[in-house]
Amino acid sequence: MSIIALAGSPSPRSRSSALLRYAIQRLRSRGLGVVELGLRDIPAEALIEGHYSGAGATALRARVAAADAVLISTPVYKASFSGALKTVLDLLDEKAFAGKTLLPIASGGSPAHLLALEYGLKPVLSALGARHILTGVYATDKQVRVDDDSSVHIDEEVRGRLAESVDRLAEQVLPRGAMAHEAYDLGRLALAGGFSV
């Protein structure tokens, strides 16, 4: 199973990218492979000039086509998802997200910007063929802090919501046999005193 994580912020220290990295770590702890892709991984010329047929855009489309699920993170500016993320989405095929499970993640200045996911980002994802979009995870700037030393602090309530959504995504992409095996392993660890449930 393949999962791609698209970061829609140009800043490596952005709050939305911090949330995305938390989600990636949780997926990897479950044995799932995740390919991270940020704005810096796509040639600036392809993004700015919309070089749909260029090598950078072609590589992006190939990675998305190979993925079973896509995580997309974005900061919210002026009540909408980032323009930088829009330039990435513009390089994708018309039905790039068809048959894939998507999880949108965003951060913004106030709780009022939560609607940017519902009324801004989700219609664009749907236009790209997405039919299975999980409930997005939104956090305010007060709920996520990235310190000067790059250490990240995520509010407990946000961590809980993000973990729940990530686990739901994992259930969508893991084969049923693998999910049963994972549950068996967790149960065995609990019985052996590895951790408490």
Inter-residue contact 102 to 125 (CB < 8 Å): yes
Least confident of 49-58, 85-94, 103-112, 134-143: 49-58
Q: Domain total for the chain?
A: 1
Tens digit of each residue's pLDDT (9 = 90 or more) over 164-185:
999 999 998 887 445 444 444 4
Domain around 42:
2-191
- Average per-residue pLDDT in the chain? 86
164's tokens? 């729940």
Reduced to 3 states, what is the DSSP secondary structure of residue 183? helix
94's tokens? 């018309």
Strand spans (E) along the chain = 2-7, 33-37, 69-77, 80-81, 101-108, 132-133, 137-140, 144-146, 152-154
The pLDDT value given to residue 120? 93
Q: Is residue 165 part of a domain?
A: yes
Q: Is residue 196 part of a domain?
A: no
CB 173: neighbour CB atoms within 10 A? 18
β-bridge mates for residue 137, sequence order:
105
Go through the chain and tell me how many residues it has. Answer: 197
Tens digit of each residue's pLDDT (9 = 90 or more) over 36-92:
998 888 888 888 887 788 888 899 999 999 999 999 999 998 889 999 999 999 999
Report d(CA 63, CA 54) in Å as an integer: 15
Q: Is residue 169 part of a domain?
A: yes
The pLDDT value given to residue 149? 87
Strand spans (E) along 78-181 = 80-81, 101-108, 132-133, 137-140, 144-146, 152-154
Reduced to 3 states, what is the DSSP secondary structure of residue 6? strand
Q: Is residue 73 part of a domain?
A: yes
Report d(CA 181, CA 86) in Å as an integer: 39
Place of tokens 């699920």: 69
CATH number of the domain where residue 116 is located: 3.40.50.360
Cα-based angle 172, 158, 65 (whole degrees, multiple of 5): 35
Q: Is residue 197 part of a domain?
A: no
Least confident of 5-9, 51-55, 85-89, 156-160: 51-55
Place of tokens 């770590």: 25
Q: Is residue 88 part of a domain?
A: yes
